[in-house]
Structure 1
Amino acid sequence: MSMPPPPGWYPDPSRPAVQRWWDGSAWTEHRHGPEATVHPARPRPEFAATAVAPLPARTGGGRAKAVALGSAGAVLIASIVTGLLVLKDDDGDPTAGPAPVPSDPHEPGPAASTASPEPTGPSTAPSSTDDPDTLVDQLNGITLPVPKGWEKAEDTVGNELALRTPDTYDCPGDPGRCRRGTITSATVTGSDERSPRKLAEADIADAADAAYDEDSIGRKPFGGIARHRQVEAGTVAVGGRSGYFVRWRVHTEEGAGGYVQSLAFPSSTGSEAMVRVRFTVDAGRGAPPLSDIDEVVDGIRPVGDGVTGGGVGSSVEPGR
């Protein structure tokens, strides 16, 4: 049994001129390239103009006329049937196309190259690149700077690309190892909401729980959240797009707690899906400065754009 192709950009089965993201098991709604956000009307076959050739001026008799008319009629019928099949296929589910199959260079013959498209586009998988100072989220079309004292995670966190502080320490609550800072980038899923403010306001509680409450296996590394307060929120430019952030100071039952920020904004590429970036920075001794959050927000860029930036004001002074 052949393995499914890896995540990456491949020709969209419904629009081959457009690149579409394959997540390793199914097509997503992320697209880029020509007409990636355009939904043109379905083409109708021009039967009279393209399907039937004009009859010659002199046919050479009644029998020749009959043959010519019969041939023209056959071509017309074939064109109509073909047009109906095209329209029927176009009306189908655009997400139901076959999985891409990377071509096998050892398979001879032209069939291998036509049935096995070679992935194209900026990347074949979410990539962190070889630059230690930049995290590339190819799926969402953004890059994030790596602040001094941080590193790119070797693996994704779930389906999220991540930055983190390199050192760990004993969690103050349930046994385990904790980090003093993490930053994750992901596509917003399960919602059609397009308001960055509504998305950030709805996400901040989940971000706080994920950082300081209960983990995925039921442990409470910080003993749970005792209380929180909002310390800042507002509109912010992110890679040339308008976003919104909400920042909480979270106090935990064990340990010093920390700060959590949720940032939402539209991607500047493809279908312009909404992007969510979460920030977690401890409040205890040895934690990175809060200004690192602002440095990352200010340094987010569209992929391939080293100029367009954003940011908002100064960082919040650490409170205890």
Structure 2
Amino acid sequence: MIAQGDLATAEEFLIAVREGIEPPTTDPATEFDEFFPGVCETLQSGITPELIRQAANGGLHQGLNFSALAPAQRSQAADALTALQQLHSHWNKFRDVNYYLKLALRLAGIEYGKESETGLTTPPTRRWFDITDVKLVGPSRLPQFGSDSDGRLRVMTTRAISDVRTLFGWIQQDISQLPVLVVVTGVLSVTQRRALARECVTRRDKPVLVLDATAVAFLAARGTGLFATTERILAPFSAVTPYFPEASDTLPTEMFYGRSDELSAVLDAQGSSILYGGRRLGKLALLKAAAARYRQTRHHVSLYIPLPSGLRLTPPGHLGPPRPQPGTIRHR
């Protein structure tokens, strides 16, 4: 990876700093800076007929530029925005909200197969349902909504949020361990978003993402349909973190990077592989990543069989045969 320029060494950084040049880095993602607070401030009217018209025609609207979208993307954006606007305007009329939300979730890079009831009460202010066979489009950085979710998310929809603490009071009624996606058909103000970010800092017990009409409009203008874009604009306001400082052999697949040559070698059907190295260098993570990739092919099964450390194999520095230990039998 270093040879290919995908990874910079500490020495390269030191040399760059000493010589007064820009250290090696990657191109930073700009989606969040474009979204907040700019679009959140200018789009306080929510989804309007003018916004939908500009999306369909590839125009400009309050900081959102739809001109780079292909005709099919413009049509998809306009349909999703129209569905969400209708749901917001006629909230009490539509009891089955799933059709209207499915179009919006597709813009967010969330596709799914089925919907089911949750068993939770659904007062006029909110509605709950589960989605299964969930597929996130593109790479993900949030294991709670990816590999850890087992393809199932709990969705809560509401027309508006008056107070962030009230929102979490609603969420606490769900005692399941499922990640919760909150879809707000209206808009969150900049003040509400900042309050949401502060509240989420103390509420890491349950994964929560909040998708409102402003975020859907921004995603419609981006046109990528990738969940990675959704993550970048919503993660700072969520009760979700991609980092697992206590993780060892349970490293989520989303947090495994690089090692493409090593992965190919382990997965090569010709011959065997021996993986060795010092402690805490990622040997087990590499093997589990290879196993997960192998299982993506139908009928492929991977087995991980750990050897107990009590086997007392060759001690460090000893090149001869293993020394007999008390209670063992050595055959010649």
Shared fold, TM over 0.5: no
Higher relative helix content: 2
Tell me which structure has the larger Cα radius of gyration: 1
Q: What TM-score comes out, normalization by structure 1 length?
A: 0.22
Higher relative strand content: 1
Q: What TM-score comes out, normalization by structure 2 length?
A: 0.22
